[in-house]
């Protein structure tokens, strides 16, 4: 008989960043994690994380809203239910609660962690098995200062920590952003690839002008240059330029992926477990992309170690990530709440070993950084 879910606890955890992280829609000096602790009748505890960027700057779910959604609406649907039938539990949540994929992702992760611990299997093994035990990881240069970004990039290269870099742009005038990015690419030369993330800041006409200049400067990938719902515009930009477009905010789940592919978009998708409702949902999107010949990129919501580990277990099962991953979230934080950090080296990160996520909490740090109000 399957053990039942007994209690679900959520905690808001505020962790400072190592430097201000500047995006087109906000500047972050702190990241708030929503930590899920799911306890089962057999004594197993499953851990999960639901994290977004900049409160409500990125999307419609805030950390406080995620916690409320789980506590008031989703947890009552799961408590008392058999914990091992993940498909039935996903369907139950979707039947009674629309959207709220970030909250659902935290719960799905906790269910997978618990089942893995119960069976002595990693989450990657539960998802079919890992094809990779070390995944490439890029670094985002987001200080906003050109020379600081150049110095930071060379330091990461010299440390053999990252050899691909992404620049957050869109908050400044297009010409200023192009000068900033071009200077960094010139400084790095062939030692590293450089991509940009516009975070929906441009309209299509502005994007056409900016992308032409960025393509000439040798930039290798343009992430979400225009608003998320402008599918036709994104497809037109992808067809117009040689440099590929990366759909991020435009593609959350398999349905979005199919819509974009059917519209003729064929460049690249940014996978994020939070957008897709969890590891299972994101692998459904990856299957759509594979069928349509669309490249994959392992995206982050700047999660801490728990959320990053959950994503890594999903990415490890995929045959290829054409554009690598950006699972650097823990490195952006001054501290974390786990007993053992992830191992970043040789321009990537190791897949955590052990049952479930392969991650354990540091209870003292969790208590220290948890919000009390």
* H or E element that contains 21: strand 5-22
Phi, psi of 328 (to 5 degrees): -100, 5
End-to-end CA distance of the chain: 39
Output b/e per residue, 268-303; b: 16+ Cβ within 10 A: bbbbbbbbbbbbbbbbebbebbeebebbbbbbbbbb
Structural tokens at position 49: 């994380």
State which H helix or E strand residue 302 sits in: none
Phi and psi (nearest 5°) for 367?
A: -65, -40
Q: How far apart are CA 143 and CA 313, in angstroms?
A: 30
Q: Which two tokens stand for residue 199?
A: 């975070």
**In angstroms, rounded to a whole number, what is the distance separating the alpha carbons of residues 167 and 160?**
19
CB 47 within 8 A of CB 361: yes
Residues 6 or more apart in contact with residue 367 via CB below 8 angstroms:
none
Tell me which residues are annotated as active site: 168, 326
Pair 101, 281: CB distance under 8 Å: yes
Closest Cα partner for 26 from 60, 53, 64? 53
Tokens of 90: 């996903």
- What are the beta bridge partners of residue 122? 356
């Amino acid at each position: 008989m399957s053990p039942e879910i007994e209690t679900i606890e959520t905690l808001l955890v505020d962790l400072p960043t190592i430097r201000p992280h500047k995006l087109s829609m906000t500047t972050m000096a702190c990241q708030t994690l929503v930590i899920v602790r799911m306890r089962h009748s057999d004594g197993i505890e499953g851990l999960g994380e639901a994290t977004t960027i900049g409160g409500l700057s990125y999307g419609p779910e805030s950390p406080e809203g995620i916690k409320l959604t789980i506590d008031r609406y989703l947890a009552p649907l799961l408590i008392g239910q058999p914990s091992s039938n993940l498909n039935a539990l996903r369907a139950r949540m979707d039947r009674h609660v629309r959207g709220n994929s970030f909250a659902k992702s935290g719960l799905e992760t906790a269910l997978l962690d618990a089942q893995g611990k119960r069976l002595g299997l990693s989450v990657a093994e539960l998802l079919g098995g890992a094809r990779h035990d070390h995944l490439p990881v890029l670094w985002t240069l987001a200080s906003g200062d050109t020379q600081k970004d150049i110095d930071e990039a060379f330091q990461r290269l010299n440390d053999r920590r990252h050899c691909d870099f992404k620049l957050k742009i869109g908050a400044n005038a297009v010409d200023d952003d192009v000068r900033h990015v071009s200077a960094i690419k010139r400084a790095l030369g062939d030692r590293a690839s450089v991509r940009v993330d516009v975070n929906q800041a441009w309209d299509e006409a502005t994007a056409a002008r900016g992308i032409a200049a960025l393509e000439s400067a040798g930039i290798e990938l343009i992430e979400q240059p225009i608003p998320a719902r402008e599918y036709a515009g994104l497809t037109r930009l992808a067809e117009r330029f040689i440099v590929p477009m990366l759909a991020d905010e435009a593609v959350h789940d398999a349905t979005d992926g199919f819509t974009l592919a059917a519209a003729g978009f064929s460049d690249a998708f940014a996978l994020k477990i939070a957008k897709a409702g969890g590891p299972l949902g994101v692998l459904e999107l990856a299957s759509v992309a594979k069928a349509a010949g669309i490249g994959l990129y392992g995206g982050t919501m700047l999660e801490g170690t728990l959320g990053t580990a959950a994503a890594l277990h999903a990415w490890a099962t995929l045959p290829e990530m054409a554009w690598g991953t950006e699972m650097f979230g823990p490195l952006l934080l001054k501290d974390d709440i786990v007993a053992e950090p992830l191992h970043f080296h040789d321009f990537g990160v190791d897949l955590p070993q052990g049952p479930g996520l392969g991650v354990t909490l540091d209870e003292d740090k969790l208590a220290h950084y948890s919000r009390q109000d």
